[in-house]
């Protein structure tokens, strides 16, 4: 492991820092690799040009899943790996990940019942499922599960997957990487990297101040998601045999359209599928679409046609009929899928590929193509496996059981019960909290909630309320420990409080954050 003197942010470094890995990209794959590498004793720097999780990793459907529909494309390796990861991730982050039951209504004109049953049987059995319940047939007519659905839907199936607060998963990985020695720089872009002996001379720029700094890593990990090709070509002046195919996916959020904590899996007549998921207590999340995308990935937006498509999917199944005017929020993202020459956007593989070049006296480059949130931890293990022999490190894989920050909640066979016990414990320790706030804080921060609430005995001791129970203590914690610097970081990525606070909260937060930065 290389040692290097610590350099404060914004100082122009005359002597470039020498270390093992420079990770480009603060999405889930970049932070996952940074955490794994730091835990193996490597010296790691990570640069993210915007905020952590500001692109694809906060725009997902947020399922930790094997991907039932990928079975139709015979992606058995991917589905098995993802299902194994599902229970591992639930184990290391039981606060931000939770089990969810999915109702799949059977429509006789679409996939036959035997095919759904077979798919679910395989799904139940290829992934060493231990803590999640198995699938089963369900009657929908005159039953609570079918109550919000149209009368013609009589039968269906129910199966298990998990759900994750995606941008928090990114931040928790970054926090743990930092706790193990990694240096995380947000709003810092890789401008260029050139070969200098067996190292890269990398130049990075602070996107707010324009200040540049140089690094001398032994290896670069290119986890730039939709920009992976840009980093290879424009920043490193290199070439690659692999490519990504950019596929846009959008979601809409509407006021809650049914009661219950289960989700629905809907089949569309064009063969695509949609998820309808309970979201942020008062809302329903609906998505997603699959549209080929070209252009700047940071400019991706939902189109009116996608809104219509998503409303129509729901309207085919639910009694409640949606119109675009019901949409209270939406988001869109670009999937950087590994290009396997598939004919349709929905058929492109969701598996990942790693490309390694260099070694033997030349600087090392490892680029990540594709992947899913669900498989990020395993992807990081594979990345480290490839890098280790070249960097002279033989530490063992370690991330499969080590909790992410706040995830050290005692586990039994019943994940829901474990979390409910933790919520009850949190409420009894800080009885002045409104129950909805206790639950929100427990979900977002797990056992790290103690760093926000500390020894406080009343709501006023948590400082100003910016709206909806977002306290000054929480905002300070997000700035000090989670790299939040703007109102948007806080309202839409570290939390989803943007959906719950009054319109003036963003301005109040912005004023508070600028006063906070100006403090001596
Ligand atoms: C609509 C949709 C639904 C999805 N649903 C699911 C799901 O339910 N479950 C699931 O498991 N997966 C899902 N996915 C897939 C998953 O979201 C992605 O695979 C994953 O987030 C990709 O992460 P990443 O780290 O590769 O990319 P990103 O999150 O995009 O991170 C790459 C980062 O690199 C940064 N960067 C780029 N260039 C530079 C540079 N020069 N310098 C510094 N930083 C740079 C970017 O700013 C970006 O933040 C979905 C994806 C989409 C789009």
Q: Is 468 left (phi over 0), alpha (psi -120 to 50) or beta?
A: left
Helix (H, G, I), strand (E, B), or coil: what is residue 122?
Answer: helix
High-pLDDT (> 90) share of the chain, %: 84
> Which uninterrupted H or E stretch holds 159?
strand 155-164
| Total Cβ atoms within 10 A of residue 90 | 21
How many CA atoms lie within 13 Å of 483's alpha carbon, on the beta-carbon side?
28
With the most atoms of ligand 1 within 8 angstroms of its CB, the residue from 69, 225, 238, 272 to mutate is 225
Give the lowest-confidence range in 37-51, 242-256, 362-376, 409-423: 409-423
For residue 406 and ligand 1, the question of a CB distance below 6 A is answered with no
Give the mean pLDDT of 44-52. Answer: 98
Overall average pLDDT of the 404-432 stretch: 91
**288 C-beta closer than 6 A to ligand 1:** yes
d(CA 275, CA 102): 9
pLDDT in tens, 480-501: 999 999 999 999 999 999 999 9
Look at 6-20, 141-155, 277-291, 351-365 and tell me which has the smallest mean pLDDT.
6-20
> Is 221:29 a contact under the CB 8 Å cutoff?
no
**Which pair of tokens denotes residue 449?**
């909630």
Binned at pLDDT 50, 70 and 90, residue 13 comes out as low
DSSP H helices, 10-65, are: 28-39
pLDDT at 6 over 70: no
Across the chain, what does the average pLDDT equal? 93
Q: Is the pLDDT of residue 464 over 70?
A: yes
Sort strands 263-267 and 273-279 into parallel, antiparallel or unpaired: antiparallel
- Phi, psi dihedrals of residue 82, rounded to the nearest 5°: -70, -40
**Per-residue tokens: 331:** 């988001």
Q: Locate tokens 């670009």: which residue?
A: 334
Q: What is the pLDDT of residue 434?
A: 97
β-pairing, 17-24 vs 212-222, is: parallel
Q: Determine the longest span between alpha carbons in the chain, in angstroms.
A: 73
Q: What is the pLDDT of residues 83-132, one digit of tens each?
A: 999 999 999 999 999 999 999 999 988 899 999 999 999 999 998 888 89
Angle at 428 between CA 427 and CA 429, to 5 degrees: 90
Among 32, 441, 24, CA closest to 217: 24
Among 2-11, 16-25, 37-46, the minimum mean pLDDT is found in 2-11
**Residue 2, pLDDT above cutoff 60:** no
> What is the percent of the chain where pLDDT is above 70?
97
Pocket test of ligand 1: the residue of 23, 51, 55 to mutate, having most ligand atoms within 8 Å of its CB, is 55
pLDDT digits (tens, 9 = 90+) for 264-309: 999 999 989 999 999 999 999 999 999 999 999 999 999 999 999 9
Beta-ladder partners of 265: 275
Task: Please spell the DSSP secondary structure of 199-239, one letter per residue.
Answer: EEEEEEEETTT--EEEEEEEEEEE--GGGHHHIIIIIT---
What are the pLDDT digits (tens) for 324-370? 999 999 999 999 988 887 777 777 778 899 999 999 899 999 999 99
Q: What is the pLDDT of residues 211-251, one digit of tens each?
A: 999 999 999 999 999 999 999 999 999 988 898 899 999 99
- On the question of pLDDT at 1 being above 50, the answer is no
- Which of 224, 292, 352, 371 has most ligand 1 atoms within 8 Å of CB, for mutation? 224
Both structure tokens of 292: 């080929």
**What pLDDT was estimated at residue 459?**
97
Residues 6+ apart with CB under 8 A from 170: 26, 27, 28, 31, 52, 53, 57, 58
Task: State residue 10's pLDDT score.
Answer: 43
How many angstroms separate the alpha carbon of residue 225 from the centre of ligand 1?
5
Residues linked to residue 367 through DSSP beta bridges, in sequence order: 222, 355
Q: Is the CB of 297 under 6 A from ligand 1?
A: no
């Amino acid at each position: 492991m290389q040692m290097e003197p610590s350099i404060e942010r914004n100082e122009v470094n005359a002597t470039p820092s020498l270390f093992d890995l420079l990770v480009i990209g603060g999405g889930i794959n970049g932070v996952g690799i940074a955490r794994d590498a730091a835990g193996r004793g490597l010296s790691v720097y990570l640069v993210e040009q915007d905020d952590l999780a500001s692109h694809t990793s906060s725009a997902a459907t947020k399922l930790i899943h094997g991907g039932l529909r990928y079975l139709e494309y015979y992606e058995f390796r991917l589905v098995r790996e993802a299902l194994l990861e599902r229970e591992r991730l639930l184990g290391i982050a039981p606060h931000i990940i939770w089990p969810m039951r999915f109702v799949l209504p059977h429509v006789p004109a679409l996939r036959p019942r035997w095919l759904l049953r077979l798919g679910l049987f395989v799904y139940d059995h290829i992934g060493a499922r231990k803590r999640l319940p198995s699938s089963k047939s369900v009657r929908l007519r005159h039953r609570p599960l079918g109550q919000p659905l149209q009368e013609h839907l009589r039968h269906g199936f129910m199966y298990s997957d998990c759900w994750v607060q995606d941008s928090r998963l990114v931040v928790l990985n970054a926090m743990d990487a930092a706790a193990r020695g990694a240096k995380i720089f947000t709003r810092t872009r890789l401008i260029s990297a050139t070969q200098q002996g067996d190292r890269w001379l990398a130049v990075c720029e602070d996107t707010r101040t324009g200040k540049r700094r140089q690094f001398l890593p032994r290896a670069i990990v290119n986890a730039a998601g939709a920009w992976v090709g840009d980093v290879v070509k424009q920043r490193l002046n290199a070439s690659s045999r692999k490519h990504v195919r950019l596929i846009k996916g959008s979601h809409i959020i509407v006021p809650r359209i049914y009661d219950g904590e289960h989700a629905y899996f809907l089949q569309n007549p064009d063969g695509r599928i949609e998820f309808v998921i309970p979201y942020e207590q008062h809302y329903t999340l609906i998505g997603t679409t699959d549209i080929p995308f070209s252009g700047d990935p940071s400019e991706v937006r939902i189109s009116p046609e996608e809104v219509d498509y998503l409303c129509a999917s729901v309207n085919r199944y639910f009694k409640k009929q949606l119109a675009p005017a019901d949409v209270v929020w939406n988001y869109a993202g670009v999937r950087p899928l590994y290009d396997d020459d598939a004919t349709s956007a929905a058929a492109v593989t969701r598996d990942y590929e790693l490309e390694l070049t260099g070694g033997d006296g030349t600087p090392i480059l490892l680029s990540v193509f594709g992947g899913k949130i669900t498989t990020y931890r395993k992807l990081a293990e594979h990345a480290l496996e490839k890098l280790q022999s070249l960097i002279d490190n033989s530490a063992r894989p370690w991330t499969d059981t080590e909790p992410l920050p706040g995830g050290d909640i005692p586990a039994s066979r019943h994940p829901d019960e474990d979390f409910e016990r933790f919520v009850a414990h949190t409420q009894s320790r800080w009885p002045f909290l409104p129950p909805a706030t206790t639950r929100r804080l427990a979900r977002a921060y797990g056992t790290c909630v103690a760093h926000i609430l500390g020894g406080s005995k009343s709501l006023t001791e948590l400082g100003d309320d910016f709206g909806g129970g977002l306290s000054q203590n929480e905002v300070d914690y997000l700035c000090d420990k989670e790299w939040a610097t703007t109102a948007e970081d806080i309202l839409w990525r570290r939390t989803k409080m943007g959906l719950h606070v009054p319109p003036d909260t963003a301005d109040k937060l912005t004023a508070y954050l600028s006063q906070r930065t100006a403090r001596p």
